[in-house]
Structures are given as C-alpha cells and as structure tokens.
Amino acid sequence: MTPAFKQRLLRHFHLMTLVVFLAVTVLEGLLRFVLAGAGLSPLIYLPKGLLALSLLLTVLTAALSGRISRAFITVIGLALFTLALGVLNVRAIVPILFGVWTILPFFFGIAVYPLLKQRWRDLRGVVFVLWVLATVGVLLNSQIDFPWAGFAFQLAGVNIVGSRQWATFDVSRLAGFSRVSIAAASHIVLLGLWLLAAGVKRYLALAIVVLSGIALYLTTMKTVTAVFLLLSLFVLLRPYIPKPLWVSVPGLAALLGFVLPFSTLIVDYQLEFDHPVSRFLFASFGIRLSEVWPMTFDLVSNYGRPLLGRGIGGIGGAQQYFEPLRYSPADNLMLYLYVLGGVLFVGFLFVYAFSAVKLEPTRQRFDAFVYMMMVTVLVQGVTGNVMESAFFSLFFGASLRHVLGLSALRTTHTPTTVPTGNHAQTVQQTSSQLGQTT
C-alpha cells in the first residue's frame, strides 16, 4: 500500500465521517427514538466515535509524517492547557472526559477544515438533502405531533432526554427530526448558508431563504432567524457592500458577547417584562442577565481561578451529570470559553473575531461561507454557549482554522480557475491535507 493510497483512503474516511455525523445529527431525535425502541440506544453515539477515531488518525498521521502544522501545535497546546485546569479544579477524570466528548465536533472542525475547503462545493447534493430534511421536519412538526417529542431513555443507569419537548409562554419550540429546537435551527441556518454561498440557481436560492425563514420562525429561535435573513441579503448584495460595514460585524458581535455577561460583575440586573410580547422576546435574555451569567462567575470564583477559569469538564453538559448542584450552561460563548481557559481563551476569541479583516467574502465564495459561519457563531454566542451544539461547534472549529491560518494558505496555494454556474472564477486550490503544514 503506497503512501499516496493511504492518504486517499484517509481522506475518504474523514469525508465519510463528516457526512455521517452531519446526517445523524440532523435526524438525531428520530434516530434516538428508533434505536431506543430496538434496544440499540448506544449506536446513536457511533458518529461521535467516528469523530474521535478521525481525530486520533489525524494526530498519528501528523506525528508520524513529521509535518506538524501551526494549527496542530496551537490546538494541542490549548487542549492540554484546559485539560490541566480541569484536573486542577474539577479533580475527577470522568467529567473531564465527558467534557472532551461534548466538544469533539469543535476539534473535528479544525481537523477536517482542509478537506472541507477542498470539497465543500462537491458536497452540495448531500447538503441540499440534509437541508430539506431539517426544514421539512420542522414544517411537518407544525402540523403533526411526532412520537419522539419529549421521550427519554435510560443508558447505564442515567436518564437521557431523547428529544426535548418544550415551550415558551405556551408557544411550542419545534425540533422536527432533530433532538431540540436550537439544534434544528442550527441545521437549517448553516446548511442553508452553505448552499447559498456555494452557488445555486436563483429560484432555488429564493426557496431556500423563504422556507428556511418559515421553519426558523417555527423553532422560535429569534436570534438565528434574524441572522439568517440578514446573511441571505449579504449573499445577494455582497459585491456592493462596503468593506468597513461587513468587516465590523464579527468584532461588534464579539464585543457584545463580552460586555453583556461581564457587565453582571458590576451591575445587578433586575429586569421585568410586563407586556406579553416583551416577555416572549426578552424574558430568557433577562434570566441570563440576572441569574445564569452571575451564577457562572460565582462558579469560577468559588470553584476555579478568576484568571484561568475551571478547565474542561467544569462547565455545561459535564456538570449537568456530575456536578448538578453547580450546573451552569453559560449561555454565552465568551463566558463558556472563559470557564474553559480564563482570559487566554477570551483573548483568543477576540483574535478570531477581528481576523475577519483578512477575508475577501465579496470576491471569494469560500471566504463568504467562512464569514457567514463566523457571524452566525458569534451572534449566536451572545446568548448560547455554541461549543456544545454539534453544528455550531464544528463550523466554529473550521472557520477558526481558516481565519487564523489564512495568510500562510494564500502564500502557498496556487490559484486555478473553476466553473461556478455559468461563469468561471478564480479560487485557491490546496494540496495540503489533514495534519500537514498550512
């Protein structure tokens, strides 16, 4: 078996892992219900097992080949840093491992990025099918009560929610075929933006925008609905939008995501919303300001270190099972990263946000896709932790590697001309693969 054949085999495995993970995540609510009924519940975790195997192969390939990228060194260093903090503060191996398991898609996004950049337009057919499933699932759910909504099952003595059924002021938050409404919204947004950025016929683009908008409205996820509609306009108008306007959006979103939670250190918010509409729109935001975010800072103050955070396993899902009395979802990307790695990780997110200045979304299709991923992640990160949402986390990892490695990529790649619809445009084509120097 030649080295070239091994590389092709490995690339096919990574690509298969990506497609399987995306597909299973889109259909997770339905699949959990079917597998639980057949007594095969553990199989739902097989795609994440493939992610872990893919990451292991990436690390081994890079180590054995000796071609260690800056991205590889940076990620390994930061991972070891937050692991060390977890050992120091959480002091239990199981929640630490669970914390790693929870954010595996983020690391996979970083690892699979070169392949994603190379093949993202080739995957339009698969992405379109997944977008249809995600969108139609929510639209059907508005007319039909799916049997998996609200079901739970036991695994290893732990009660696990298979598909969450919930409402805001008696308005159901529909999840479709997925596990929870926020997941359904993330699938519709990111898959829809993928298709729009990759280039589709105008009538299909219009259908994607309209149907996605309706489905997102039905999930009641207000933030991502607004972001999707605005970014859809960006796709249509991007050649005419001044650079200072679009380049400032990621930085402003990051600043907002920092100021809001960190302001609770000096302001005691007590917000009341008397009108039904204002309660529906802002009640959950008020809870974050008055309860969730202050509680998260107390968590770090009492059980961590103010400058360093708590480390992996010390926030979010891992706490829900292993530290339920201290549990905080963070509900903010900046705050989640602060708990994981203190001010270092907060600074890292600002570097990510302001790296948008390197992009050329008005001229490069893939840059437009990355830019939209960044804006979606950062805006959703104002009121969501992002890292524990499979799609958001994966695309956060991929876009992070793109913007932080952009300069090297552009100096080492040779531009080639490829057809885009009825036209041809110049794009950057890379020969770099997983684990190689970028």
pLDDT (tens digit per residue) in 400-428: 999 887 433 443 333 333 333 433 333 33
CB–CB of 23/130 below 8 Å?
yes
Place of tokens 């960044």: 374
Half-sphere exposure of 423 (CA within 13 A, CB side): 7
pLDDT band at 59 (very low <50, low <70, confident <90, very high): confident
Question: Which residue, 177, 184, 178, 197, is CA-closest to 375?
Answer: 197
If one compares 275 and 391, the residue with the highest pLDDT of the two is 391
Provide the pLDDT for residue 95: 94
pLDDT at 408: 38
372 pLDDT above the threshold of 90: yes
Look at residue 48 and tell me whether its pLDDT is greater than 70.
Answer: yes
Q: Which residue has the higher pLDDT, 433 or 35?
A: 35
State the pLDDT at residue 16.
Answer: 95
Q: What is the pLDDT of residue 62?
A: 78
- Only one residue has tokens 């524990």, namely 388
User: Is residue 20 within 8 Å of 50, Cβ to Cβ?
Assistant: yes
Which of 171, 166, 170 shows the shortest CA–CA distance to 181? 166
Q: Write down how long the chain is.
A: 438
Q: Find how far residue 285's CA is from the centre of its chain.
A: 21
Phi and psi angles of residue 152, each rounded to the nearest 5 degrees, phi first: -135, 160
Q: Which of the four pLDDT bands, split at 50, 70 and 90, describes residue 212?
A: very high
Q: Are 366 and 403 in contact (CB under 8 A)?
A: no
151 three-class SS: coil
95-122 pLDDT tens trace: 999 999 999 999 999 999 999 999 999 9
Burial tier of 341 (Cβ tally within 10 Å: 0-12, 13-18, 19+): buried
Burial 399-434 (b: 16+ CB within 10 A, else e): bbbbbbbbeebeeebeeeeeeeeeeeeebbebebbb
Q: Is the pLDDT of residue 356 over 60?
A: yes
Q: What mean pLDDT is predicted for residues 171-181? A: 83
Confidence of residue 283 (pLDDT cuts 50, 70, 90): low
Mean pLDDT for 151-179 is: 71
Average pLDDT of the residues in 156-177: 69
- pLDDT, average across residues 152-180: 72
> Residue 279: what pLDDT?
60
Is the pLDDT at 156 greater than 70, yes or no?
no
CA distance 401 to 371: 12
Which range (244-248, 277-281, 390-394) has the least confidence?
277-281
For the segment 63-101, what is each residue's pLDDT rounded down to a tens digit?
777 777 776 788 889 999 999 999 999 999 999 999 999
Query: What confidence score (pLDDT) does residue 434 get?
Result: 34
Both tokens assigned to 339: 């708990």
In this predicted model, what pLDDT tens digit does every residue of 288-332 receive, in sequence order?
888 999 999 999 999 999 999 999 999 999 998 899 999 999 999
Average per-residue pLDDT for the chain = 85
Mean pLDDT of 376-383: 94
Structure confidence at residue 27 as a pLDDT band (50, 70, 90): very high
Q: To the nearest whole percent, how much of the chain has pLDDT over 90? A: 57
Please compute the mean of the pLDDT values over residues 354-369 and round it to a whole number: 90
pLDDT band at 431 (very low <50, low <70, confident <90, very high): very low
Decide: pTM greater than 0.85.
Answer: yes
Q: Taking the CA atoms of 254, 317, 183 and 261 in sequence, report the sign of the dihedral they define.
A: negative
